[in-house]
Chains A and B, each alone.
Chain A
Amino acid sequence: DTGVSQNPRHKITKRGQNVTFRCDPISEHNRLYWYRQTLGQGPEFLTYFQNEAQLEKSRLLSDRFSAERPKGSFSTLEIQRTEQGDSAMYLCASSLAAGRGDEAFFGQGTRLTVV
Chain B
Amino acid sequence: EVQLVESGGGLVQPGGSLRLSCAASGFTFSSYWMSWVRQVAGKRLEWVANIREDASEKYYVDSVKGRFTISRDNAKNSLYLHMNSLRAEDTAVYYCVRGWSHYIHWGLGTLVTVSS
A joins B in a complex: no
**Residues of chain A whose beta carbon lies under 8 Å from any beta carbon of chain B:** none
